[in-house]
Amino acid sequence: MWLFLAFLMVPLIEIGLFIQVGGLIGLWPTLAIVILTAILGTALVRSQGIKALGDVQGSFSRLEDPTTPLAHGAMILLAGALLLTPGFFTDAMGFALLAPPVRLAVMRYVSKRVTVSRFEMGGRTAPGPAPRHDMRHDPRPAAPGEVIEGEFTEVPQGKKPNHPGSGWTKH
């Protein structure tokens, strides 16, 4: 029901705002404002999106919970879609989502209504230490002198592969 109301109300609000603003400043200045906000919004979304992508990659490399950087990235993506949609109301919503305090407020609001039952990455359930019994998913490198168990099959010296090869390896 809320989605239906949004799809109904947003175009009506945009049409009303276009009529009001166009009546005050004229057609060409109104169109120029819409185009300039799209260009400015694209530049802001690009710079903040690159930073958000770096934050997500950093959280993955540190094996931290990526929820916050992913949420920021999703809201920046939504801001980009809103800024590329012609209109004053959607531009205002898009620029608001580009402000980190607004994104944090949205995340606090949503986090009160969402329950995460489990988060797992790389065989580790966050929070807490990695289980020592399952070495397959332990991302740490082996310590000097530590034995890593495994299985192998020795390939005879003259054996050729049974497929033509991809060109990326020497056969």
Q: Is residue 127 part of a domain?
A: no
In a domain, 110, yes or no: yes
In a domain, 159, yes or no: no
Rg over CA atoms, the chain:
26
Please check whether residue 46 lies inside any domain of the structure: yes
Residue 117's identity, in one-letter code, is S
Q: Can you tell me the distance from the alpha carbon of 136 to that of 171, in angstroms, rounded to the nearest whole number?
A: 29
Q: Is residue 64 part of a domain?
A: yes
Dihedral of alpha carbons 21, 25, 29, 33, sign: negative
Q: Which tokens in the block code for residue 102?
A: 């607004």
Per-residue pLDDT of the chain (171 residues; tens, 9 = 90+): 888 998 899 999 999 999 999 999 999 999 999 999 989 999 999 999 999 999 999 988 888 888 889 999 999 999 999 998 889 999 999 999 999 999 999 999 988 888 877 666 555 455 544 444 444 555 566 667 777 777 777 777 776 666 666 666 665
| 50 contacts 61 by C-beta, under 8 angstroms | no
Domain count, the chain: 1
Centroid of chain to Cα 6: 23
DSSP H or E segment with residue 106: helix 100-111
How many angstroms separate the CA atoms of 131 and 13, rounded?
A: 54
| H or E element in which residue 73 lies | helix 67-84
User: Does any domain span residue 27?
Assistant: yes
- Which residue reads 């402000």 in tokens? 99
Cis peptide leading into 66, omega within 30 of 0?
Answer: no
* The token pair that represents 117 in the structure block: 């039952």
Q: Flag whether 5 is in a domain.
A: no
Report if residue 161 sits inside a domain: no
- How far is residue 128 from each of residues 13, 41, 125, 132, measured CA to CA in Å? 49, 40, 7, 12
The residue behind tokens 């694209």 is 42
Within 10 angstroms of residue 94's Cβ, the number of other Cβ atoms is: 24
pTM of model > 0.85: no
Q: Name the residue range of residue 53's domain.
A: 12-114
